[in-house]
Homo-oligomer: A and B are copies of this chain.
Amino acid sequence: MKCRICEKKATIKLPQYNLKLCDSCFLDFFKKRVKKTIDSFKMFSLYDDILIAVSGGKDSLVLWSVLSELGYRVSGLHIDLGIEGYSEFCKQKVLDFSESRGLPLKIIGIKEIFGVGIKELARIAKRASCRICGMIRRYLINREAKDFYCVVTGHTLDDEASSLLGNVIHWHVGFLKRQYPVLEENGSLKRKAKPFSFVFENEIVFYAKLKNIDFVRERCPLSKKATSYVYKSMFSFLEERMPHIKLSFYKEFLKRKNYFFSEEKEQLKECKICGYLTVTDICNFCKLKKKVEEYQFQKA
């Protein structure tokens, strides 16, 4: 097995591109693809301050590593979700990574804001924990990004393709209209970019291995029933039989998106409490805060 580029011994096989590469050519290939995505979608430049949301998982840590190597000005933001037996562990991985690379990091804790962690919040709000968690993270990341040009997240092609599949299977037109590698700033909603939109997870795992990036391998204990995993497994089943299908499904969607699902700007207004853009008078974050306060008051 020879490296397609330099003809030395290949160390990785990428069936999605029908490609075999050696360590050094892979690193080069990987970085070039990420750079190309950033440039072709005009995500941000080398002069912009960008904020990366890091969970401690492979995707966000590898993205942080690549963006720093490419010379971007990236600061990390970690949200401590307060999940017992899990969040402490995630925080430690992020801290270790930022310290060893000398990269700036800010940590904010859900418990410091609400007095309780995600699990309890979901119970109080009577909602699925993944839903509450997603809403809170989006809110806090946006709030913390106030002085940055752009927020970046480690969403991979596997995430994008499987969430696209889920949105198509349920014909969630609203989500289909908004799914894109970059979302422009909209009032108080910060610009968001996903530089890994065309990167497969197996590439990320290999990159992490070569760069000795230590990440959290365990799945969040609260997400065991998450439907996103069902779509991911479903798509991996297909990808095994039709390599490249994830990439072509997502790319073709992007090409035809405006034809199918023409974008109409949603009517958003400012939350009467915090000013966050929302479809109702009070945003979900502030509603949740109120609910928790009432709950604590009744308990006391």
Chain A interfacial positions (CB closer than 8 Å to B): 165, 168-171, 173, 227, 230-231, 233-234, 237-238, 241-242, 245, 248-249, 252-253, 256, 260-261
Query: Can you list 13 A-B pairs, Cβ within 8 angstroms, ordered by A?
Result: A165-B169, A168-B168, A169-B238, A170-B248, A171-B249, A171-B252, A171-B256, A230-B238, A230-B241, A230-B242, A234-B234, A234-B237, A260-B260
Residue of A165, A237, A238, A252 with highest tally of chain B CB at under 10 A:
A238
List B contacts of A230 (CB < 8 A): 238, 241-242
Report whether over half of chain A's contact residues are helix, strand or loop; otherwise say mixed. Answer: helix
Residue of A241, A245, A256, A261 with highest tally of chain B CB at under 10 A:
A241
Residue of A171, A233, A234, A252 with highest tally of chain B CB at under 10 A:
A171
In the assembled complex, how far is the CB of residue A168 from the closest CB belonging to chain B, in whole angstroms? Answer: 5
List B contacts of A165 (CB < 8 A): 169
In the assembled complex, how far is the CB of residue A219 from the closest CB belonging to chain B, in whole angstroms? Answer: 16
Tell which of B233, B245, B248 touches A237, judged by Cβ atoms closer than 8 Å: B233
B173 with A256: CB separation less than 8 A: yes
Tell which of B173, B253, B260 touches A261, judged by Cβ atoms closer than 8 Å: B260
Which residue of chain B has its CB nearest to the CB of A257?
B171
A245 with B169: CB separation less than 8 A: yes
B253 with A171: CB separation less than 8 A: yes
In the assembled complex, how far is the CB of residue A90 from the closest CB belonging to chain B, in whole angstroms? Answer: 27
